[in-house]
Amino acid sequence: MNAAATRHCPAILISTPASGQGKTTITAALAYYHRQQNRKVRVFKTGPDFIDPQILSFACEQPVYQLDLWMMGEAHCCEMLYNAAADADVILIEGAMGLFDGDSSSADLAQTLDVPVAVVIDAGGMAQTFAAVAYGLAHYRANLKFAGVIANKVGSPSHAKLLEEALPNNIPLLAAMAKDTGVGMPSRHLGLLQADEIGDLDLRLARAAELLSSLAPCRLPQPVTFAPITTDPPPKLLTGKRIAVARNAAFSFIYQANLDCLQAMGAELTFFSPLADHVLPEADSVYLPGGYPELHLQTLADYVAMKQALQQHHQAGKPIYAECGGFLYLLERLADKHGHAAAMAGLLPGSAQMQQRLVNMGMHSLQLEQGEIRGHSFHHSQLETTLQPFTESKPQRNRRCNENFYRVGSLQASYLHTYFPFNPQVAAGFFL
């Protein structure tokens, strides 16, 4: 290994003892704060997530990518960080769930990537116990680098001082966020609202960044050394192909890495909106990603010309690849959780009904002719169809349910959100 090729950049993985303690708000506030200090900030999100990265991307004004050891592989994760360190002034990684939760936890990721952890702790109603929680998290696992703690919902400057004085000398207070109901992010059944739906997002983040540095100094993380690593570029299997990608409020669950992968394979991407456009752009293939079609039922139903354009594209034998929300859009009907239904594109027989509870979630592996590809499912809808599946996915955890994968001519669809860079050959097969 060429030691001269190593890169150095301040970096931390931001986690919490549990979900719902402010990881996304704190990470976005840190990104916004450092950007205000004229630093280039690169942000990553742990695990399969589409909504938090939209907010984080708004905060740092850079694309946000996922990091997941199982879905992406260790080498790919390391390469992403190494590439980011080339020109970033600070790297922030938002964790998932609690620090040690899950089969591939935020702690596992931090340890594998050799990035120190900063834990956000809700300090509301706490004094010295704050330090005990921090101490337990810092010492629960040997060899896990611990950068320090970030106090959230702090009541006053004196409260922040009390928390800092209670901490052991080797656990610094990296920042303290004052309690303010105006900086939290609104949510719905799949998580936070999308960035475009939060009209005052810039004001919220500006206020959060101000609060983050008002009670205690907001410290820049220590530099981390990133070893050089490169993986083989994807084969040019899509050279000369033009792919039309649906992208709007109803279809926004798209990994930036998927788009990058398609372009690296030679594809030209063009974007369209089934909520606003009456015709498909000239394209060889169509990509319908996941999102919230159930929130736009009537608009999708009323755009008959777009549905007809998709039907004509399919009848011409041109490929369509649809994931989750995009899959639901191709059914005959879709109903929201209140029972309001509307006619969808009708390329696939059947209907789906939104449920009050989660129907399936988890990481999945899918085996197709070109090999294995990985991804995840997370949906609240229940499908009813007479269509026989082409194959089915294998859940990472045995107690989870599989997901059927459907193929009708050149149309391929399922509830799965697949990660294209895991196997570009499989991804190319969706569009050929």
Distances in whole angstroms, Cα of residue 413 to Cα of each of 180, 231, 288, 317: 43, 29, 9, 15
Cβ atoms 405, 416 nearer than 8 A: yes
Token digits of residue 411:
């149309």
- Helix, strand, coil content of the chain in percent (nearest 5): 30, 30, 40
The residue type found at 66 is Q
* Bridge partners for 11 per DSSP: 91
Q: Cβ contacts of residue 126 below 8 Å, gap of 6+?
A: 133, 163
Q: How far apart are CA 400 and CA 177, in angstroms?
A: 38
Give phi and psi for 83, each to the nearest 5: -65, -40
Within 272-423, residue ranges assigned H as helices are: 297-302, 304-315, 325-329
Cβ atoms 92, 71 nearer than 8 A: no
Q: What secondary structure letter does DSSP report for 296?
A: G
Within 181-240, residue ranges assigned H as helices are: 201-212
Burial (CB count <10 Å: 0-12, 13-18, 19+), residue 385: middle
Cβ atoms 174, 219 nearer than 8 A: yes
102-125 as b/e, with b when 16 or more CB fall inside 10 Å?
bebbbbbbbbebebbbbbbbbbee
* Helix (H/G/I), strand (E/B), else coil: 279: coil
Q: Which residues are catalytic?
A: 324
CA angle 33, 38, 41 (to 5 degrees): 65
Q: Which of 221, 258, 192 is nearest to 93 (CA)?
A: 221
* Helix (H/G/I), strand (E/B), else coil: 368: strand
